Structure 1
Amino acid sequence: MNGDTTGSIKYRTAAAAVEQVLKQTAAVAVPGMSVAAICSYADSLVEATCKSVFRKDDSIERGVAFPTTVSVNRVIQNYSPGPEEDYVLREGDVVKLEVGAHIDGYISSAAHTVVATNAPGTSIADRRADAICAAHYACEVAVRMIRPGQSAHHMVKALGLVASGFKCTVAAETFTSQIDRFVMSGRNTFANRFNPNVQVPSLVFEAGEVYTVDCTMSTGNGIARESTYSPAIYQRDVNQQHSLKLRTSRALFTSVNREHSVFPFLMRGVVGSSQSLKAGVSECVRSQLLVPFAVTMDKEPGDTFVAQFKATVLCHHTGPVRLTRALPLPNVLPATAIPAESEIGQILALDCEQAALPELPRLKLPIQTPIPTQPPAGAAAAAVSSASMDTS
């Protein structure tokens, strides 16, 4: 990276925390495990891990940059349920895990996809494998294209080529976003899915910029629709001002301002069991003071699977420097392969430096690992047909 500046160290420390937490989270994404328990476990790990570094400076804000999400099968993003809307993983579920951390506002985030199974040695060779490989290789392509002089238009085209090669589609509402200190979606943000009605911005990557690339692929049409799951994640819009009428709304917004800065947060952590605070959410959303992150799913019903891989990358003057590390792929055998001589094969052959990540201290108080419950009856037999979490 471009020197061991304070920002560089904090980016890499956040990336090390994300890698460690994502690895531990993937290990517990097994049949019988509650999604709510996984999300709570991962968020607790992020908080504890981030608090274990830079301990001499109490003024540094650190912790979760985006609450952990565990989106299953055809759910695309933002699923971080409470107990009332929980889901228990079944044998064969495609599980997308996304983790984000920050140290003093310097953000790193990553996502990885696994298949919930009690037989990890078994190869998966159906449409789940195609979605997972499409998302994995799309992320590897995108990472290698974050280099000075490369264009966003060319990247979007390349991601579409990867998707079509595996007979998949790029999921809508997924983006490549420039990030900065305390900024998760900067001025250079564009959709990864080509839309003939929306022009891809004519931006060219420049040295010194940092990006997150969110590569999400679907075996369906990739069109996102809002599910019936309630939004759990919200963010304060610091550019909005509004005089709230209801006392409950004012109390809620005061709590949000006191407990959270600019980063997205879980609303249930603010309202708890308080019905009065919960009643204030609607007015805060209508006034655009709070922005909900809708839980979306692929519009196409049936055996549709969505996979996601995400990375944080520095555009260095020598080429891309990957901050977050890629975890090993699950045991998948897609129906197609990428020829080395193809345009995508040539991009995959490009160099991509991996940033050296610091070693993190061992936690003084280990976070308790969640325990799986008994899987629902017939879960193994219903594995693929449960592509659901279907609320249509």
Structure 2
Amino acid sequence: MSDNEREEKELDLSSPKVVTKYKSVAEIINKALQLVLSEYKPKAKIVDICEKGDSFIKHQSRNMYKNVKKKIERGVAFPTCVSVNNTLCHFSPLDMVKIDIGCHIDGFIAVVAHTHVLQGGPVTGSQADVIAAANTIAEVALRLVRSGRKNKDVTEAIRKVAAAYDCKIVEGVLSNQLKQFVIDGNKVVLSVLSLETRVDDAEFEENEVS
């Protein structure tokens, strides 16, 4: 096996080194999420929260792989985003907020997202239905992203869960495959079928990251 072939082989989850890097960024990003959540208080500025999330990721990732011979890029893979109420995602300028953060080491990316409700009492009614539906969809999708299953299986499951909660899925939302230094890979899961948005059929394979 040539050096180029060996290097290419190590770019997926068949390599223990790659798995270790994914585990490292996952640990960082989950800690970053807890930090961001702790900053949610009435009158808090979204820009301050986002800056703290990004700074934490930069500091934590900078302390990893410092002594390796080959320089490894690391840091923020997806800037901390806070999307308020009816803004679906990816808004960084309180009520219900959606948080997205991503970190990488050597281009291997971990992204975490969380929905947080700012209110004193329990969540009820349609708002509670939406949150429960989103949580159930995430759990179902996680179980379906397996070798041999197809992206359309996940889309169909999302449709069924949403219908069970009497919720509508937002059109045009995509979930992408992750690769080294690529946060929007070619294999895509579509949230809901529509005339305007189509994706190619794809089958999940071993050692891929979604």
> Within 5 Å, which residues of 2 pair with 1:69-108?
69-81=81-93, 89=94, 93-108=95-110
Deviations 1:60-108 (A, max 9, x none): 1111001110001000122112xxxxxxx3xxx1110111000110000
Deviations 1:335-363 (A, max 9, x none): xxxxxxxxxxxxxxxxxxxxxxxxxxxxx
Task: Confirm or deny that 1:63 pairs with 2:72.
Answer: no
Match of 1:185 in 2: 184
If you compute each CA radius of gyration, which structure gives the higher value, 1 or 2? 1
Shift of residue 200 of structure 1?
4.5
SS at match of 2:88: strand
Match of 1:143 in 2: 142
Q: Verify the 8 A CA contact 2:28 2:103 in the aligned structure 1.
A: yes
Shift of residue 24 of structure 1?
1.4
SS at match of 1:65: strand
Higher helix share: 2
Deviations 1:219-245 (A, max 9, x none): xxxxxxxxxxxxxxxxxxxxxxxxxxx
| Partner Cα distance (1:79, 1:199) in 2 | 24
SS at match of 1:203: coil
Shift of residue 145 of structure 1?
0.5
Instruction: Decide which of 59, 77, 91 is 1:48's aligned counterpart.
Output: 59
**1:110 partner letter:** V
| Partner Cα distance (1:170, 1:34) in 2 | 29
Shift of residue 196 of structure 1?
4.3
Shift of residue 163 of structure 1?
1.4
Deviations 1:141-167 (A, max 9, x none): 111101111111111011011112222
Shift of residue 169 of structure 1?
1.7
Match of 1:26 in 2: 37
Give percent identity, aligned residues only: 31
Deviations 1:269-321 (A, max 9, x none): xxxxxxxxxxxxxxxxxxxxxxxxxxxxxxxxxxxxxxxxxxxxxxxxxxxxx
| Partner Cα distance (1:140, 1:171) in 2 | 18
Q: Verify the 8 A CA contact 2:154 2:189 in the aligned structure 1.
A: no
Instruction: Decide which of 15, 19, 22 is 1:8's aligned counterpart.
Output: 19
Match of 1:165 in 2: 164
Q: Verify the 8 A CA contact 1:94 1:128 in the aligned structure 2.
A: no
TM-score (ref. length: structure 1)? 0.48
- Gaps of at least 5 residues in structure 1 are 82-88, 212-392
If asked which structure has higher relative contact order (CA below 8 Å, sep 6+), I would say 1
Shift of residue 2 of structure 1?
5.6
TM-score (ref. length: structure 2)? 0.88
Match of 1:126 in 2: 125
| Partner Cα distance (1:40, 1:78) in 2 | 15
SS at match of 2:204: coil
Match of 1:116 in 2: 118
| Partner Cα distance (1:191, 1:146) in 2 | 13
RMSD across aligned positions (CA): 1.8
Q: Verify the 8 A CA contact 2:187 2:202 in the aligned structure 1.
A: yes
| Partner Cα distance (2:58, 2:148) in 1 | 37
| Partner Cα distance (1:173, 1:131) in 2 | 18
> Within 5 Å, which residues of 2 pair with 1:1-392?
5-57=16-68, 59-81=71-93, 89=94, 93-117=95-119, 119=120, 122-196=121-195, 198-211=197-210
Higher strand share: 1
Q: Verify the 8 A CA contact 2:13 2:208 in the aligned structure 1.
A: no
- Gaps of at least 5 residues in structure 2 are 1-11
| Partner Cα distance (1:64, 1:193) in 2 | 29
Aligned residue pair count? 198
SS at match of 1:179: coil
